Amino acid sequence: MNKKISILGKTYQFNSLKEIMAKANEEKSGDQLAKIAANDVSERIAAKYLLSETRLCDMRENPLLSPEEDEVTKLIESDLDESEYNKIKNWTLSELREYLLSREVDGETMLKVGRGLTSEMIAGVTKLMTNLDLIQAASKIRVITTCNASMGQNGVLAGRAQPNHPSDSLQGIRASLYEALSYGIGDAVIGINPVIDTSSSVKEILLMTKEVMNTWNIPTQNCVLAHVTTQMKAIQQGAPADLIFQSLAGTEKANDAFGINIELLDEANELIYKEGTATGPNRWYFETGQGSELSSESHHDIDQVTLEARCYGLARHYKPFMVNTVVGFIGPEYLYDSKQVTRAGLEDHFMAKLHGLPMGVDVCYTNHMKADQNDMDNLAVLLASAGVNFLIGVPMADDCMLNYQSTSYHDIATLRELLHLSPAPAFERWLEDIGLMENGKLTKRAGDPTFFLSQRGVH
Amino acid sequence: MIELTDNKLALEQLIQSTPARIGVGCSGTRPKTEIMLKLRMDHAMAVDSVYGDIPKAFFEEFHFPIVQTPCQSKEMYLKRPDLGRKLTSEGESFIREHCKKKPQVQIVISNGLSSKAIESNIRDVYPALLDSLESYGLSSGTTFYVQNGRVACMDVIGEILEPDVLVMLIGERPGLVSADSMSAYMCYKPRIGTIESNRNVISNIHRGGTQPIEAGAQIGAVLRAMLDQKTSGTRLVI
Amino acid sequence: MHETNEWITSLGIDLGTSTTKFIVSRLQISKVSSAFSLPSYKITKRLCTYKSQIYSTPLIDDETIDYTNIAKILEREYEEAGITLDDVHTGAVIITGETANKKNARIAVNQLAERAGDFVVATAGAELESLLAGKGSGAQDFSIQTPNQVVANIDIGGGTANTAFFLNGECIGTATLRIGGRLIRLNPAGFVKGMADSFKPWLEENGFLVKKGDQISFERIKQITDEMAKNLIGYLAQSSNDEHTQLLYIDPMPQSLPTVHTWMFSGGVGELMKNSERMTLEEGTRYGDIGPFLATSLNQLMKRSSFNVLSPKQTVRATVIGAGTQTTEISGSTVFIQNGNFPIRNVPVEKVHIQNEELESDQLDHIFSETIKKGLSLHSMGLDPAFALYLSGIDYCSYEKLKKIVNILENIYSQYLPNQKNIVIICQNDMAKALGHALSIRLNGKVNCLICIDQINIQHGDYIDIGQPLPSSIIPIIVKTLVFTSDA
């Protein structure tokens, strides 16, 4: 493969595919911190030129991290659909981009092609795409998954209810959950990030959320986002969990820093299918986010977009019900400002969809990042247009436990109205049944959490 | 316009049960003006706390010597955490020359991600910490301030001054509830290469969280435990 | 994060009007803070692990408790439960209903407490009894699960009906009426074997002219218990409250009652309500009293009125389980202890309520010295500590305020209690450790023992027992609240 290019009288020489991949990235403070980013804008575009000429088989033959030294690479390799791969292995990334964007290629076809692509190829083509490319290509793909209820259908925008509380007060979580439900949010999952990472505390929260679901017959799923081992212990102690959760990273070493490996995930996988309370086939909830590998110094000098793609390669092995990138959570040293967060959100969504994943995005930022709520409004609209499976719902976008800002219950309700999207079908029927929605619109009773106090459930 | 419930008491109880911004109502699907502006104001406070500086009056009150890291601007500080873990060479020589060597307890203060955290909490935490050190019979070295420091600059300081234990009082990333929350990171014999799990931390120190005077008293107890057990981090039994 | 759990053993003993029960429970104390904050602990489980059989309360005569026999019962029960006194960390002996009026009640209960283990307290009082029964029956837990709805637990034993009202897990009031299953004693043929003197005025006013030795019919008994049920529920549901009902009042009654959404009945009569069906006179008098009749009357009334009645988790043992599992609280974990000799029992508490405005002014000095002077006038000077000071109302304690408080404390203790060797200070807010350090530096060895603990809610007039600190340095505390409705 070619590592040298002359454009407009200037010659750009790169040493490896790894370097080209990194320098072809749009500007990210994380790549700069890792000292692998392009030195200037023209070097970035030169790298993109070279990358566009790279063939898929070149990428497969030159893995950025060898399967011998990394179990994530090994898993991605062994999960690859060889027959799909063989059909396209001589394509360049440029050809792949144009194929994915062509009108004749529909979502189904893209998903089929995606099975023949490694995560690095998907990351590569992403680097050649503009923001609108990413939106256009992703919008064609529908990934429908089922836990207790299904989501991902065309025209559906689901929302995770994230009713966190700074001390895991069950009453407080419940109150915030009522608020979410009253805005029609909670169809993706009722998912709580606990402060206290103990199995007994996790179990209590699972029991409480299950009780609300049962009292009101809510077609959704519950999850408490503790460390996977804590959830496993809780489930073994009889806690009712529909989904099991874990944060993923894109290298074995970074997963090690998270206290997980594939063996542990396999064990959790077996447990959730045996003892989980869900009725449907998809039982996992994964979270990812650009930059986590660098933060644990286990990035092997690979850029953060490629590493993020590798998370999706790992995730798709477990046929999850939902995946989301917590795109702006990590901080300005990885994504400095709203421009970088916007780009990352669109990249992650597209890459995950091409991996065949039911992708949602936590459109978010921290207070030390150059971004504000207006930037989140913008990105949420872009992602909803791109067909994102779900967004995160937090009261007024302010998570009082994790101390960051995401999208609000109001925001998801607004996006649905604005872009003519609906809650997940079963959830929408439920909202209509209890009188919070009528003809696809929220009713006057919506937005009032005491709605769930005034009546004792429906049976 | 969605009118909030007639059941005011019940709503009030739900609101009281969580600091989350619930029961806020809406106009169409959008939040009411006042609650929207409240969110923007809280964010503004947080941003101003990241980018703001500690007023001069603070240093006139406490007389802490000021030492710099290579992060000369906030942007550099935010983008280059690695540089916040070092001191400038002037800074290194300053502490080498002016600070007590091998103290039992070294106290370091840094603005970190929130200048307001230092401005609002040191006045309470610091004297309570000194009381607890006295009450436990511990002595401390020369307290100084690091502008734009990260937690791990404890290691560089440890290398130079060789304290038995070091506590760093540093501004946390501001949240919307509190833009002035401070953390205390503590370590037994910090040196370059100390891993994170060897540090102990008390976080969320501010008026509405961990009470500042009580945090000061507890820091003394943790430091004493470190000295007794000659270890810190996950192995420390408190 | 690893899970930090400690278990402590707590006893409960209930000496009731007609029956005596004993339980052993285990309280789980768990760390509920993250690794990054100050340690904080909560009692997360209160499990009853042993229940005794139900004994008739041993009496020597109508007026005297048979302490020797109770002690024998307990000895047997300890063995049966597989515990020794050394295993017991905490607990409560409660003397309920009419038993509390026996002439040797106080002595008996104190002796029992001494014998029951190192840190078991003796206590009594209708409010506390109502509260404990409501906790033990499960009414409190149920009120947490049904937000914003008042749950009333009525514990009906031999002599009294103790009601506690819960809202969102908090007890918002209690009321006790003289309604019980043993107020009239009968033999199987319907002959009256005895009546509580205190109940006679009500019977007479209602035209039930019965006296010892009379034979009364099934219908007549039923009329009496129907009227009792009507008075009790009418009062609690605020649908009727005539002068007849006032004859059933025991203590000053609360000025207003909340509107009840769910009712629970515990106690012996609550147990009978579980299966009160049609019965004969003989069946109705099988316990030698009117209990089964009262249960039937209550069931019929509740059904007729379409009230929402829920079965409690515990009936007969609600109070004893409440006493055993629910009386102990724990302090905050950042406390200051210098030479404490635990347990410290029956420390009266004097409350200093500090408004923030006052803190800024010189009046603070005055408030403290007034409290101390009052304490000195009320409590025996032979005790050391004479009383504990309870600092409440401080919104935020800055170091500057702390310094002021420390100055004043040093002054008043040296001025008014110069010979006091033990100082106990309890803070409502999380500030005890800082206060302890600052004060100990100032006192500089002038006292033997300085204890500062925090995050306990105490009312004026309470007594506390302070237990042996647990390894995590939290301290079990029993607050003996005598009146908690008025001031709360």
What is the tens place of the pLDDT at every residue in A2-12? 999 999 999 99
Name the residue of chain B whose CA is nearest to C402's CA: B213
- C423 in a domain, yes or no? yes
- C486 in a domain, yes or no? no
pLDDT of residue C2: 42
- Which residue in A183, A403, A450 is closest to B7 by CB distance? A450
Neighbours of chain C (3+ CB pairs under 8 A): A, B
- Which residue in C39, C429, C434 is closest to B217 by CB distance? C434
**Beta-carbon separation of B131 and C438 below 8 A:** yes
Domain limits, chain B: 51-235
Give the CATH number, domain containing residue C14: 3.30.420.40
Could you tell me the two tokens for B5? 């419930």
Q: Which of C271, C297, C319 marks a domain boundary? A: C319
pLDDT, tens digit, 9 for 90 and up, residues B72-84: 999 999 999 999 9
**Beta-carbon separation of C32 and A199 below 8 A:** no
Count how many pairs of residues, chain A against chain B, have C-beta atoms within 8 Å.
144
- C91 in a domain, yes or no? yes
Secondary structure letter of residue A147 according to DSSP: S
pLDDT of residue A67: 96
| Contacts with B25 from chain A: Cβ below 8 Å | 447-448
Q: B56 pLDDT exceeds 70?
A: yes
B208 with B145: CB under 8 angstroms? no
Residue C118 banded pLDDT, cuts 50, 70, 90: low
Are residues C196 and C300 both part of a single domain? Answer: yes
Are residues C96 and C167 both part of a single domain? Answer: no
B151 assigned ligand-binding residue: yes
Count how many pairs of residues, chain A against chain C, have C-beta atoms within 8 Å.
24
Q: Please state which of the ranges A143-152, B204-213, C9-18, C302-311 shows the lowest mean pLDDT.
A: C9-18
Count how many pairs of residues, chain B against chain C, have C-beta atoms within 8 Å.
83
pLDDT of residue C89: 80
Give the CATH number, domain containing residue C409: 3.50.30
Are residues C162 and C55 both part of a single domain? Answer: no
Q: Please state which of the ranges A267-281, C84-98, C382-396 shows the lowest mean pLDDT.
A: C84-98
**What percentage of chain C exceeds 90 in pLDDT?**
38
Name the residue of chain C whose CA is nearest to A452's CA: C147
- Which residue in C38, C398, C437 is closest to B131 by CB distance? C437
Peptide bond into C147 cis (omega under 30): no
Q: Which of C79, C98, C124 marks a domain boundary? A: C124
- C325 in a domain, yes or no? no
CATH 3.20.20.70 for domain A145-453, yes or no, is yes
Q: Please state which of the ranges A116-120, A451-455, C274-278, C356-360 shows the lowest mean pLDDT.
A: C356-360
The residue that leads in pLDDT, A454 or C379, is C379
**What percentage of chain C exceeds 70 in pLDDT?**
92
C23-42 residues touching B, CB cutoff 8 A: 35-39
What's at C234, amino acid-wise? G
Q: A86 pLDDT exceeds 70?
A: yes
Preferred mutation among A405, A409, A448, A451 to probe B, highest tally of B CBs within 10 A: A448
Are residues C181 and C312 both part of a single domain? Answer: yes
Residue C65 banded pLDDT, cuts 50, 70, 90: confident
Q: Which residues contact A18 (CB under 8 A, 6 or more apart)?
A: A64, A301, A302
A115 assigned ligand-binding residue: no
Secondary structure letter of residue B179 according to DSSP: S
| Contacts with C429 from chain B: Cβ below 8 Å | 211
State how far residue C80 is from chain B, nearest Cα, in angstroms. 38
The residue that leads in pLDDT, C195 or A387, is A387
Q: B19 pLDDT exceeds 70?
A: yes
Q: Please state which of the ranges A26-30, B38-42, C81-85, C433-437 shows the lowest mean pLDDT.
A: C81-85
Q: In whole angstroms, give the CA distance from residue A70 to residue A63.
A: 11
**Beta-carbon separation of A403 and B173 below 8 A:** yes
Among A234, A224, A225, A298, CA closest to A261: A298
Are residues C72 and C148 both part of a single domain? Answer: no
Q: In whole angstroms, give the CA distance from residue A65 to residue A79.
A: 16
**What percentage of chain A exceeds 70 in pLDDT?**
99
Give the CATH number, domain containing residue C277: 3.30.420
B75 assigned ligand-binding residue: no
pLDDT of residue B1: 35
- C99 in a domain, yes or no? yes
Residue A125 banded pLDDT, cuts 50, 70, 90: very high
pLDDT, tens digit, 9 for 90 and up, residues B163-212: 999 999 999 999 887 889 999 999 999 999 888 889 999 988 999 888 99
Name the residue of chain C whose CA is nearest to A175's CA: C147
Highest mean pLDDT: which of A137-151, B40-54, C204-218?
A137-151
pLDDT of residue C483: 36
Q: Is B5 on the interface with A (CB under 8 A)?
A: yes
Correct CATH for B51-235 of 3.20.20.80, 3.40.50.11240, 2.60.40.10, 2.60.120.460:
3.40.50.11240
Q: In whole angstroms, give the CA distance from residue C198 to residue C178.
A: 8
pLDDT, chain C, mean: 85
pLDDT of residue C35: 64
Q: Which of C124, C155, C185 marks a domain boundary? A: C124
C145 with C249: CB under 8 angstroms? no
Range of the domain at C252: 129-319
Residue B4 banded pLDDT, cuts 50, 70, 90: very low
- Which residue in A171, A198, A199 is closest to C147 by CB distance? A171
Q: C249 pLDDT exceeds 90?
A: no
Q: What is the mean pLDDT of residues A227-249?
A: 96
Q: What is the mean pLDDT of residues C46-66?
A: 88
Q: How many domains does chain C have?
A: 3
Q: In whole angstroms, give the CA distance from residue B218 to residue A394.
A: 34
A371 assigned ligand-binding residue: no
pLDDT of residue A458: 40
Name the residue of chain C whose CA is nearest to B129's CA: C434
| Contacts with C396 from chain B: Cβ below 8 Å | 207, 211
Q: Which residues contact A456 (CB under 8 A, 6 or more apart)?
A: A215
SS3 content of chain C, % helix, strand, coil (to 5): 35, 25, 40
| Contacts with B201 from chain C: Cβ below 8 Å | 35-36
- C31 in a domain, yes or no? yes
- Which residue in B22, B39, B174 is closest to A179 by CB distance? B22
Q: Please state which of the ranges A227-241, B110-124, B158-172, B202-216 shows the lowest mean pLDDT.
A: B202-216
Are residues C267 and C140 both part of a single domain? Answer: yes
Q: Is C471 on the interface with B (CB under 8 A)?
A: no
State how far residue B124 is from chain C, nearest Cα, in angstroms. 5
Are residues C179 and C267 both part of a single domain? Answer: yes
Name the residue of chain A whose CA is nearest to C169's CA: A171
| Contacts with B13 from chain C: Cβ below 8 Å | 147-148, 168
